[in-house]
Amino acid sequence: MRRLGLIGHPLTHSFSPRYFEEKWFREGVHGYRYDLFDVEEFPASLADWWQDQEGLIGVNVTIPYKIEVLKEIEKSRQSEHVRVIGAANTLVMDPTDGELRAENTDWRGFLDVLDQEQVLATGRPALILGNGGAARAIRYALERIGVDFGVVHRAAGPDTIEYSALKRQMESYGLIVNTTPLGTYPNDDQYPPIPYDEIDEEHYYFDLVYRPENTVAMKMCALGGAFVQNGYGMLAAQAEYAWEFWREYYR
Reported pTM: 0.95
Q: Where are the alpha helices (DSSP H) in the chain?
A: 16-27, 46-51, 80-85, 106-113, 116-122, 133-144, 216-223, 232-249
CB under 8 Å to 71, separation ≥6 — which residues?
A: 46
Note whether 2-104+235-249 and 108-233 share their fold.
yes
DSSP helix, strand, coil percent of the chain (3-state; round to 5): 40, 20, 40
State yes or no: pLDDT of 156 exceeds 80. Answer: no
DSSP state of 67: T
- What's residue 168's pLDDT? 87
pLDDT in tens, 204-247: 999 999 999 999 999 999 999 999 999 999 999 999 999 999 99
Q: Which fold has domain 108-233?
A: Rossmann fold (3.40.50)
pLDDT-based confidence at residue 117 (cuts at 50, 70, 90): very high
pLDDT in tens, 14-62: 889 999 999 999 999 999 999 999 999 999 999 999 999 999 999 999 9
Separation of alpha carbons 110 and 64, rounded Å: 19
Q: What is the pLDDT of residue 90?
A: 99
Partners of residue 101 on adjacent β-strands: 92
Fold of domain 2-104+235-249: Rossmann fold (3.40.50)
Cα–Cα distance for residue pair 174/20, rounded to 1 Å: 34
pLDDT of residue 120: 94
Tell me the percentage of the chain whose pLDDT exceeds 70: 100
Whether 226 contacts 200, CB under 8 Å: yes
Helix (H, G, I), strand (E, B) or coil at 130: coil
Break the chain into its structural domains and give their ranges. Answer: 2-104+235-249, 108-233
| Confidence tier at 185 by pLDDT (50, 70, 90) | very high
